[in-house]
Amino acid sequence: MRLAELSRRSGVSTATIKYYLREGLLPPGRQINTTTAEYEEEHLRRLRLVRAMIQVGRLPVATVREVLGHVDDDSLGRTIRLGAALWALPQVPEPDEDDAYVRAAHREVGALLDTLGWENAKSLTTISPSYRSLVVALAAFRRLGFDWDIELLVRRAKLMHQAAIADMDFMETHRTDAERAEAAVASAVLVEPMLQALHRLAQEEESARRYGFE
């Protein structure tokens, strides 16, 4: 498969593919000679993953490069590789540790993890980006004056735990570590938007049931 065909089959312009090659999002094709390269089905698949991450997951190009770097890193062990790929994903601003709301949110999330018995997550609070994202969002929520009981958060967490277990089960159906890492990334980048869309659809459904369309 040459560049033009790769472009046609993926729906991505050749100029953009060249850009991705330059940026290291796509491995170079097999060089036939100075001016020709051959691409495989694997390139097409990777290109589709890149597009999904950028268009659906709205990840910056630099983040995509980092994530794929971990997915492809055979030197990493299973858990580390998976964690590294997922930890490169986030895009939330760093919490301002001087802010009173942020410090309060830290304590609340700590209590949440205790209640849930998530001992492993608890030991990662200083480094996990997911933990930080949760703190940032909760702090913003509190800053707006919303007084959710922590119990509400616990219920949400249990729901998401169920979803996470199902995702991990699905991930385990893949054979190689690289495939598993890719499945985990696709899960984070594509399943999460699906969950979000389902959440809003459910809200619309529920709103219509309660109040009708008047």
Partner DNA sequence: CCTTCTTGGATAACGGCACTATCCAAACAT
Partner DNA sequence: ATGTTTGGATAGTGCCGTTATCCAAGAAGG
- Cβ 186 to DNA shortest distance, Å: 18
Q: Which stretch binds a copy of itself (CB under 8 A): 14-22, 27-35, 64-72, 185-193?
A: 185-193
Q: Which of 43, 67, 83, 85 binds a copy of itself (CB under 8 A)?
A: 83
Q: Which stretch binds a copy of itself (CB under 8 A): 15-23, 24-32, 63-71, 89-97?
A: 89-97
Inter-CA distances, 212 with 69, 201, 208, Å: 49, 15, 4
Rounding to the nearest 10 degrees, give the CA dihedral for residues 105, 108, 110, 115: -160
Q: Which of 56, 62, 100, 150 binds a copy of itself (CB under 8 A)?
A: 56
Contact between 100 and a copy of itself by CB under 8 A: the answer reads no
Binding-site ranges for DNA (CB under 7 A): 2-5, 13-16, 18-19, 21-22, 28-29, 31-37, 54-55, 60-62
In whole angstroms, give the CA distance from residue 154 to residue 111. 10
Complex with a copy of itself: residue 37 or 72, whichever CB lies closer? 72
